[in-house]
Amino acid sequence: MFALESLSLNNETYKNSLLVKKACRFLLDRQMDDGGWGESFKSCEQGVYIHHQTSQVFQTAWAVLALLAAKYPEPEPIQRACRLIISRQTADGQWLDGAIEGVFNKTTSVTYPHYKFAWSISALGKAHKRFPDVQW
């Protein structure tokens, strides 16, 4: 996410950058059937990408933000992801805890309770701005 945001500040987007296209392809190849993304904390331990069993709200939000920063031209994967985020929100406006959000020194799991709120709200807001006519 941060890499694609940084590249976009240099006007590198999906339309004109091979690096951005490769990053988008990496993300899209890992989008789950339900529209979300989920990476296991074991990726940090082993140094390779390892899918989580289920989509995670905060990681789905990160992927949405990355694709939006890249100006990825196809709306469908972004819309599917946003629908997943919305579907996981509870009636009182919260998102339930999911998997471990971080790992420190490859051995210590870290929970960031605000991640699911801050990243989800940011992703949904930016997606709505990009696709104002979509009925979520």
> Left if phi > 0, otherwise alpha if psi is -120 to 50, otherwise beta: which for 11?
left
Domain of residue 102, residue span: 2-130
Tell me, what's the pLDDT at 19? 98
Q: Is residue 7 part of a domain?
A: yes
The pair of structure tokens assigned to 111 is: 């929970």
Quick one: 23 exposed, middle or buried, by C-beta within 10 A (0-12, 13-18, 19+)?
A: buried
Q: Is residue 50 part of a domain?
A: yes
* pTM flag (> 0.75): yes
Q: Is residue 48 part of a domain?
A: yes
Kindly report the backbone phi and psi dihedral angles of residue 95, in degrees, each rounded to the nearest multiple of 5, phi listed first: -120, 135
The CATH number linked to 100 is 1.50.10.20
Q: Is residue 135 part of a domain?
A: no
Q: What is the mean pLDDT of the chain?
A: 92
* Residue percentage of the chain with pLDDT more than 70: 95
Q: What is d(CA 121, CA 64) in angstroms, rounded to the nearest whole number? A: 11
Mean pLDDT of 71-91: 97
Question: Residue 101 above 70 pLDDT?
Answer: no
Tell me, what's the pLDDT at 75? 96
Q: Is residue 136 part of a domain?
A: no
**Reported confidence tier of residue 45, pLDDT bands at 50, 70, 90:** confident
E-strand stretches of the chain: 102-104, 108-110
Tell me, what's the pLDDT at 102? 65
The pair of structure tokens assigned to 8 is: 């976009």
Q: Is residue 40 part of a domain?
A: yes
Which residues, 6+ apart, have CB-to-CB distance to 21 below 8 Å? 14
The count of structural domains within the chain is 1
